[in-house]
Amino acid sequence: MGYWRQVLTRLSRNRLALVCGVFVAALVAVSALAPYITPYAYNEAHLGPESSYQPPSLKYWMGTDDLGRDLFSRLIYSLRNALIISLGGTFLSLLIGGFLGAWAGYAGGRTDFIIMRFTDVVFAFPSFLFSIILVSGLGRGFPTMFLAVGATSWVGMARLMRGQVISVKGLEYVELARSLGASGFHIITKYILPNTLGPLIVTITFSIPGGMMVESGLSILGMGVQPPIPSFGTIIADGAAAMRSYPHLLVFPSVLFTITLMAFTFLGDGLQDALSMNRKGD
Amino acid sequence: MGIRQYARAIGRMIQSFGNTMTGYIIRRLIGVVLVLMVVCYITFWLIHAAPGNFLDVTRLQGFIAGDQVTQQQIMGQWEDRFGSNKPVNVQYVRFIKDTVTFNFGPSFRYPNRTIETMIREGFPVSFSLALLSVAVAFLIGAPLGILAALRRNTWMDRTCVTLAMGGQCIPPYVIALGLQLLLSVYLGWLPTSGWGHGRNFIMPVLALAIAPIAIIVRYMRTSMITTMNESYIRTAWAKGGSPMAVIGNHALRNSLIPLITVMGPQVGTMLVGTVWIETIYRVPGLGRYFATAATDRDYPLMIASLMFLAATISIMNLLVDISYRIIDPRLRNEGG
């Protein structure tokens, strides 16, 4: 895999992307190990005047909220939920978009035309509004969240897949395989998919913060996962309600959430450069 | 005539326009209408499937706004027109009729106001917020992008690009709350929320503008760099043009044109952003009506505002695509 080693070397030269990559790995590890790391359970309430609305301390690293729940523990679980939801949504959009895009690109002709005109129209549609409707009809569970996130991002996947398939389709070894009688499925999985891996990794890296924004954007309106399951959006909204007296309840979640989004985006950008997909300018 | 024949007839009609601009516009318009109709249908289907209704939700919230008896009456009217006892298809056709005649009747939460007047009053608010924020974003973003391009690979360039990349990652609701904390709670310069005064515009527009500023900076920079490398710019330098003349007359104009394609869709994105911004700042716009209607299960208002916002944004994006084709003739001959 000389190509991938090259990509890694190029990535490691980009200091910002490297730092973000390490940070993203840490975020993933922390959220995977959340039950072992967090000092308290996410819904563990400590009632009483000495426990609620506490400022940051050694006992509660980021303070506590109105019910005396540890903010740090709740944020770690929010991160975990945000990751699960955005990964689930990305997977879903990969299934829908990948399938439609690959089909359009591989079939070409009228099928391609119809599918791509369809994606044009869906692309112009404000999908976040549709996500809100989905949640209001299907309830606030995790599967609905996957759908809400997936519904907003499959079009990009479809376009990417189609472009990749078309660019690979004309290559000689693919024509050779076809002339030897390989099936469409075989060609797509064996020749086309491995070639699209790089751009796909970049798209997935970018779609994770996108999914997190949708998830928290829903929960800040009161349409995310059902409380007490923590989500950045709900915690930020609760913090906003208390911002006059207890600003730390707004600042900690907002900053952590923003840093998380930035880390993923900068990593995606670095990966894009390393895979030299960035043809605009430098 | 069955659906199949209809589809075929429409297909023939679409094909008869060929690859012309009219054909393109008609195809896209048909697509927009179809997608809106499908989304509307799904919405009705979801309403059927969803447990609970407006009264359950308001009771749960422990919040009873207005006159419950009238609200129940309105819900009764809605049940008569779109009720769960009727099949989805019947409701759907009825709603399409209401849409075409722009006559939606009252909402559950605001039984004394019709949805038409709410849209008529709320939409200009949201739309002006969206337009203003994109305009502000252009006024701030374009000069920064040009500066970054002209001072390429200096600290100024790198700061602009990194800041822009960061700014793109911060969701509008986080910016909105951060501005509230900083400008109202700490500094006390602006009221935290409300509407009706010129000062109430500042924070919503700023909160919305950060993301498009970032996008415009990055796009303007690349566009400017590309233009500066064109041969006609080299010719202009060779003719002995002053920097002002070369940059102002040639480079600037040619790199501003592609910016339209970035700014147009941003208006739609900002319109979606008003859903959060208007909720946070308590602005009586259509975005907030939609958000509260969806959480309250105020179905009449929810569907009507969704359809109105979605139609506006879809058509605006279509206009952007059309104008792009007019500006860039190369696209015209590419299929579709």
* pLDDT for B231: 82
Cβ of B46 within 8 Å of Cβ of A121? The answer is: no
Percent helix, percent strand, percent coil in chain B, to nearest 5: 80, 0, 20
- Point out the least confidently predicted range of A42-56, B66-80, B198-212, B256-270: B66-80
Flag whether pLDDT at A9 surpasses 60.
Answer: yes
- Reduce the DSSP state of residue B27 to 3 states and report it: helix
Whether residue B162 is predicted with pLDDT greater than 70 in this model: the reply is: yes
Q: Minimal CA–CA distance to A234: which of A219, A253, A254?
A: A219
Please judge whether A136 and B173 are an interchain contact, meaning their C-beta atoms are less than 8 angstroms apart: no
Rounded mean pLDDT, B221-235? 85
Give the residues across from B114 on adjacent strands.
B106
Residue A254's pLDDT is what? 93
Chains A, B: CB contacts within 8 A come to 144
pTM score of the predicted model: 0.85
pLDDT higher than threshold 50 for residue A280: no
Q: What is the mean pLDDT of residues A76-83?
A: 93
Does the pLDDT value for residue B19 go beyond 90?
no
- pLDDT at residue A211 tops 90: yes
Three-state SS at B328 = coil
CB-based contact, B7 to chain A, within 8 Å: no
A247 falls within a domain: yes
Question: What is the arithmetic mean of pLDDT over B235-255?
Answer: 80
- Residue A99 is assigned to a structural domain of this protein: yes
Residue B265 CA to residue A226 CA, distance in Å, equals 32
Mean pLDDT of A61-82: 86
To the nearest whole angstrom, how far is the Cα of A46 from the nearest Cα of chain B? Answer: 24
Residue A164 counted as domain residue? yes
Q: Say how many CA atoms lie within 13 Å of A256 toward its Cβ.
A: 25
Smallest CA-to-CA distance from A163 within A190, A122, A200 is with A200
Q: According to the model, what pLDDT value does residue B334 have?
A: 47
Nearest Cα neighbor of B322 from B250, B265, B246 is B265
Confidence grade of residue A50 (pLDDT, cut at 50, 70, 90): confident
What's the one-letter identity of residue A190? K
Closest in B31, B168, B295 to A117, CB measured:
B31
Give the three-class secondary structure for B114.
Answer: strand
Other beta carbons within 10 angstroms of residue B83's beta carbon come to 13
DSSP chain A: -HHHHHHHHHHHH-HHHHHHHHHHHHHHHHHHTHHHH-SS-TT----STTTTTPPS-SSSTT-B-TT--BHHHHHHHHHHHHHHHHHHHHHHHHHHHHHHHHHHHHH-HHHHHHHHHHHHHHHHS-HHHHHHHHHHHH-SSHHHHHHHHHHHHHHHHHHHHHHHHHHHHTSHHHHHHHHTT--HHHHIIIIIHHHHHHHHHHHHHHHHHHHHHHHHHHHHTT-SSPTTS--HHHHHHHHHHTTTT-THHHHHHHHHHHHHHHHHHHHHHHHHHHTT---S--
Q: Is the pLDDT of residue B69 over 70?
A: no
Distance CA B147, CA A30 (A): 41
In a domain, A47, yes or no: no
Model confidence band, residue B329 (pLDDT cutoffs 50, 70, 90): low
Residues 6+ apart with CB under 8 A from B260: B320, B323, B324, B327
pLDDT at A169: 78
Nearest by CB to B222, from A116, A130, A280: name it: A280
Chain CA centroid to CA A211, Å = 4
Number of domains in chain A: 1
| Neighboring chain A residues of B221 at a CB cutoff of 8 Å | 281
Rounded distance between C-alpha atoms, residue B178 and residue B184, angstroms: 10
Tell whether ipTM is more than 0.90.
Answer: no
pLDDT at B64: 52
Task: List the single residue in B49, B168, B173 with the smallest CB-CB distance to A137.
Answer: B49
Most confident of A46-50, A105-109, B191-195, B321-325: A105-109
Among the residue ranges A44-58, A121-135, A224-238, the one predicted with the least confidence is: A44-58
In this complex, do B46 and A126 lie within 8 Å of one another by their Cβ atoms? no
Considering only CB atoms, A136 lies closest to which of B170, B297, B313, namely B297
Q: Which of B293, B220, B283 is nearest to B254 (CA)?
A: B220
**Quick one: pLDDT band at residue B63, thresholds 50, 70, 90?**
low
Q: What is the CATH number of the domain that holds A217?
A: 1.10.3720.10
Q: Looking at the domain assignment, is residue A5 inside a domain?
A: no
For residue B204, what pLDDT is reported? 92
- Cβ within 8 Å, pair A223-B294: yes
- Our CA-based measurement puts residue A137 at a distance from the nearest CA of chain B, in whole angstroms, of 5
Evaluate whether residue A44 is within a structural domain: no
Instruction: Please give the residue range of the domain that contains residue A171.
Output: 77-281
Residue A278 has pLDDT above 50, yes or no: no
- Give the Cα separation of B174 and B172 in Å (integer): 5
Q: Is the pLDDT of residue A92 over 90?
A: yes
Q: What is d(CA A130, CA A137) in angstroms, rounded to the nearest whole number? A: 11
Above pLDDT 70, what percent of chain B?
A: 86
Q: How many CB atoms neighbour CB B15 within 10 A?
A: 11
Q: What is the pLDDT of residue B242?
A: 81
The token pair at B106 is 């009252």
> Is A141 among the domain residues?
yes
Lowest mean pLDDT among A102-111, B57-66, B126-135, B319-328: B57-66
Per-residue model confidence as pLDDT tens digits over B89-103 = 777 787 787 777 777
Burial (0-12, 13-18, 19+ Cβ within 10 Å), A98: buried
pLDDT at B335: 44
Query: Could you tell me if residue A110 is inside a domain?
Result: yes
Residue B137 binned pLDDT confidence (cut-offs 50, 70, 90)? very high
The winner for highest mean pLDDT among A174-178, A257-261, B252-256 is: A257-261
Q: Where residue A281 falls among pLDDT bands split at 50, 70, 90?
A: very low
pLDDT given for residue A58 in this prediction: 76
Q: Which of A95-99, B33-37, B168-172 is predicted with the least confidence, judged by mean pLDDT?
A: B33-37
Judged by a CB distance cut-off of 8 A, whether residue B295 touches chain A is yes
